Copies of this chain bind each other. A is one copy, B any other.
Amino acid sequence: MVTPANSRTKKEHHCSIHRSLDLVGEKWSLLIVRNALRGESRFSELRDNLGIPSDVLSARLATLVDAGVLERRSYREPGERERYSYHLTEQGQALKTVLIALQEWGDEYNPSPGGRVSLTQDAATGQHASIGFIGDDGSVLDSSAVTMVPGPAAAISW
């Protein structure tokens, strides 16, 4: 019996955190997205700036394209062969919040002795921005009062 390579049994998780980590829960994947958010797109610049082996980078890029986080485009420099660049989709851009949450956590609890490498800024006003919780009524909430509670599908998996 022939079994296609992509038909192997994979447990489908219900929790969105688990589902997200299934897509991007690997250190290199999130670092690739970080560099893409900084404007890097070419294989060679990602490889050189991340210091990641080419084969690992190829595999992670393929996973991120499959997951809908990156879009692959071809380009050709004069006199060179066709190459590929990788661009964040809307879904990929939305990971900005996850990365800035990791950044703020690191700056707070594990700061680099050299100072902050990256800051978060509101392009409209130029002011510093930080992550917070907003209520459905539009008010800024006290983060310590925000909790995760079981949702409608919690009976399946909580």
Contacts of A143 in B (CB 8 A): 96-97
1/0 contact trace for A101-143 toward B, CB 8 Å? Answer: 1111111111110111111111111011111111111101111
Decide: A105 and B95 in contact? CB cutoff 8 A: yes
Residue with the highest number of chain B CB atoms closer than 10 Å, among A18, A109, A158 = A109
Contacts of A15-47 to chain B: CB distance below 8 A: 15-23, 25-27, 30-31, 34, 37-38
Question: In the complex this chain forms, how many copies of it are found?
Answer: 2
Decide: A106 and B153 in contact? CB cutoff 8 A: no
Decide: B135 and A133 in contact? CB cutoff 8 A: no
Decide: B91 and A98 in contact? CB cutoff 8 A: no
Contacts of A78 in B (CB 8 A): none
Of the residues B106, B114, B131, contact of A131 by C-beta under 8 Å: B131
Contacts of A128 in B (CB 8 A): 135-136
Decide: B98 and A101 in contact? CB cutoff 8 A: yes
Chain B residue nearest to A149 (CB atoms) is B121
Decide: A115 and B34 in contact? CB cutoff 8 A: no
Decide: A133 and B133 in contact? CB cutoff 8 A: no
18 contacts between A and B (CB under 8 A): A14-B112, A15-B103, A17-B31, A21-B27, A97-B105, A97-B131, A114-B156, A117-B153, A117-B156, A118-B148, A119-B149, A120-B148, A121-B148, A123-B145, A129-B136, A130-B134, A132-B134, A140-B140
Binding site for B on A (CB under 8 A): 12-23, 25-27, 30-31, 34, 37-38, 67-68, 91, 94-112, 114-125, 127-138, 140-143, 145-154, 156-158
